[in-house]
Amino acid sequence: MTTFIQGLPKVELHLHIEGTLEPELMFELAKRNQISIPFSSPEEVQAAYQFDNLQSFLDIYYQGANVLIDEQDFYDLTWAYLLRCKQDNVVHTEIFFDPQTHTARGIAFETVINGIDRAMQDGKQQLGISSQIIMCFLRHLDQESAFETLGQAIAFKDKIIGVGLDSSEQGHPPEKFKEVFEAAINEGFLTVAHAGEEGPAENIHNAMKLLGVARVDHGVRCVEDPALVEQLIEERMPLTVCPLSNTKLKVFENMEDHNVIELLRKGLCITINSDDPAYFGGYMTDNFMAVASAIDVTEQELAQLSLNAIEASFISESEKGRLRGLVKQYCL
């Protein structure tokens, strides 16, 4: 099973680039930029990664991002992630970034996007990995700040395929961002949103109804509303599920309790993703392995997860056809 999973061509649809900051790179960038961090070694950083819930993770994750200053830092961060993609046979990835985490610290929007984009171009040329960028609004901030961020993104429209919504779900429901998502859609952006991770099934429903999402990020709490589950099946609405994230943040106590395979078998368009791999203990192969080790699953079902991700991706039909060919050839 390990060999099958490792070699399976994969597509990642739920990955926060700030969440790929490994402790070693955090230390290197802190030194390069003379930023003080409250840890004395990469091992100490790793030891601090014990979380009780989403908020306890977000606090440490936003702090980590403080070491990212120059365009080269964003390049190095993204390049390191793409090298991990190569190891894991990830052939296409759609990368989230949180502009407000950086602009609030005085880092220019263009510094961030240009660093990420340059690494993505090199990833295509040197590693053969295709990628796209989705910018997320931080939902703990107000809609006005999201509008300001949307305004900054317009000049970089050719580099950004969609907008998303992340950060603290509880107390910040989708309806808070209805108008800015409407404006983003009018500007031609596709939309996605984190919903039903820590928040109720109602957030999934409202993300679809009010934010026009093409995918739901996480979405695992959909099971609390059977009518919603039926709707997700009917519409083939993709869920970007992140197994190691969910157990680390205690959305599920144990991987054995995770509903990812149960939802796949019900006929939902389920995908497996790594979310914030440097913080949650693993990249794509690790996430597939964690599921396959805890839950009985066939190679055919694992391949279906890859085919679902291709279906749910924001690439052209011809590119989807090419990637499906890779999966099918691998499974022969």
Beta-bridge partners for 192: 215
3-state secondary structure of 90: strand
Asked whether residue 172 is marked as a ligand-binding residue, the answer is: no
Q: Which is nearer to Zn ion, 57 or 75 (CB)?
A: 57
Return the residue of 16, 172, 176, 215 that touches ligand HPA, per CB under 6 A: 16
Element (H, E) at 31: helix 23-33
Least separation in angstroms between CB 82 and ligand HPA? 19
Q: Looking at 148, 197, 262, 311, which residue is catalytic?
A: 197
Task: For residue 197, indicate whether it is catalytic.
Answer: yes
What radius of gyration, in Å, describes the C-alpha atoms of the chain? 19
To which residue do tokens 């390069």 refer? 32
**Rounded distance between C-alpha atoms, residue 73 and residue 76, angstroms:** 5
Q: How far is CA 27 from CA 79, 111, 319, in A?
A: 17, 21, 38
Give the span between the Cα atoms of 233 and 214, in whole angstroms.
14
Query: Does residue number 275 form part of the binding site for Zn ion (CB under 5 A)?
Result: yes
CA distance 194 to 218: 6
Dihedral of alpha carbons 133, 136, 215, 84, sign: positive
Query: Which is closer to ligand HPA, CB of 19 or CB of 23?
Result: 19
| Burial class of residue 80 in the structure, from the number of CB atoms within 10 Å of its CB (0-12 exposed, 13-18 middle, 19+ buried) | middle
Coil/strand/helix, residue 93: strand
> In the bound complex, what is the minimum distance in angstroms from residue 66's beta carbon to ligand HPA?
15
Residue 166 makes contact with ligand HPA by CB under 6 A: yes
- How far is the CA of 117 from the CAs of 84, 130, 131, 182, 273, in angstroms? 17, 11, 9, 26, 21
Residue nearest to Zn ion according to CB distances in the complex: 275
Helix (H, G, I), strand (E, B) or coil at 217: strand
Stretch that binds Zn ion, among 31-39, 148-156, 269-277, 311-319 (CB under 5 A): 269-277
Flag whether 14 is marked binding.
Answer: yes
Q: Which does 167 bind (CB under 5 to 8 A by kind): Zn ion, ligand HPA, none?
A: ligand HPA
Query: Is residue 73 a contact residue for ligand HPA (CB under 6 A)?
Result: no
Task: Tell me the β-bridge partners of 136.
Answer: 164
> Which of 16/176 has CB closer to ligand HPA?
16
54 binds ligand HPA per the rule CB under 6 A:
yes
12 binds ligand HPA (CB under 6 A): no
Residue 276 marked ligand-binding: yes
Binding of residue 245 to ligand HPA (CB under 6 A): yes
* Residue 238 interacting partner from ligand HPA, Zn ion, none (CB closer than 5 to 8 Å by kind): none
Between CA 80 and CA 17 the distance in angstroms is 10
The one-letter amino acid at 33:
N
Q: How far apart are CA 285 and CA 293, in angstroms?
A: 12
Q: Which stretch binds Zn ion (CB under 5 A): 41-49, 79-87, 275-283, 313-321?
A: 275-283
19 binds, options ligand HPA, Zn ion, none, Cβ within 5 to 8 A by partner type = ligand HPA
Site residues, ligand HPA (CB under 6 A): 16, 19, 54, 166-167, 194, 197, 245, 275-276
Q: Which residues are catalytic?
A: 197
Annotated binding site: 14, 16, 194, 275-276
Annotated binding site for substrate: 276
Annotated binding site for Zn(2+): 14, 16, 194, 275
Site residues, Zn ion (CB under 5 A): 275
